Amino acid sequence: MIYLGLITLVSSAAYAPNLQGQPAVLRHRCHPRLSAPVAESVAWTDLTEDAKRLTDASIARTIANVAEEGVLITKLASFEDAFPTTAQFCVEKSGSVLTTVPSKEAATNLAESKRVSFYAKAPAGGAAANSVLSLFGTVEALNVDEDVSDADLMDISKATGESMEVLAAKPWVRLTPERVHIFDAVRSVESWIAVSEYTEAEANPLAPAARTLLNKLNSQHAPALKRFASVFAGVPAEDVSLAEIVSVDQMGFDLRLQLGPSAPPSTIRGGFKMPPANAEEGTSLFMKLFQEAYERENGFMK
């Protein structure tokens, strides 16, 4: 399903030149503009006017870290067709992927050609939700005892229910990417990323806490979030049909806002002055924002 969805999302767009010799950058934006801009006259205590966001390379590393399963695509032996198989994987510090060879057919294909594609999708409701990472390159065979740590085997064992012994008995390969592509589902943007940038990038440090934080904000604090969205966007509260935080990282958050039941939702970005380091700090920061929105709405603060 991952690879089919990715094919559907790719569309024609202009390619910009890349001076580093890496694949050019593709930008395809399909999200509508917000009907009303963010209220520029409001200076928020904990928000910055310069709302920065993670680089595409950092988003790619985030997807790699949070995805629970990947798809390894080998070239079907003696044919031109691609052979996709779900695979368990872990990620090295460099961003290279260590993955099991998921089937006898995949092993047969790899014996003929080491060229592969690998896709991973971030789970819904968390960091980089529903975003897709695609890696392309050549794999090399691994010695599990030397190249795969017990910690990685344990993590995959917990995720799959397979014992560490069973996982260690499987053949493993390392994919060192030669091309990197992402589809960022939060912004509806896709990009080719320079391998050097991908290798050096850091994942979103709030990713492990993102699912808990987003669920708490959007469910337990829905009325306060709607009030904040109204004040933040500078629109009447009765015009806000939908307000939800769809992503959060150390630099800021993305707020999905719908003005009226028939209007298309739009996503706007807010930046943090002081980056939260964990879910507790993130919750505390948003509670301050909700309190400030209440005070502004009631005239206690300008």
Task: For the chain, give every domain's residue range.
Answer: 55-200, 207-297
Q: Give the pLDDT of residue 160.
A: 84
Q: Give the pLDDT of residue 277.
A: 86
Q: Give the pLDDT of residue 149.
A: 92
The structure tokens listed for 285 are 């920061």
Which amino acid belongs to residue 151? A
Average pLDDT value for residue range 233-244? 92
- pTM, whole model, 2 decimals? 0.83
Distance, first Cα to last Cα, the chain? 50
Residue 5 pLDDT class (50, 70, 90 cuts): very low
Pick the CATH number of 207-297 from 3.30.56.10, 3.20.180.10, 3.40.50.970, 3.40.50.720: 3.20.180.10
Report yes or no: 183 and 190 within 8 Å, Cβ to Cβ.
Answer: yes
Q: Give the pLDDT of residue 37.
A: 52
Average pLDDT value for residue range 211-224? 94
pLDDT tens, 34-45?
444 555 557 899
| 87 has pLDDT over 80 | yes
Average pLDDT value for residue range 216-226? 95
Express as a percent the part of the chain with pLDDT over 90.
73
CA–CA gap between residue 230 and residue 228 (Å, rounded): 5
CATH for 55-200 is 2.30.110.10
Beta-strand pair 97-100/240-248 = unpaired
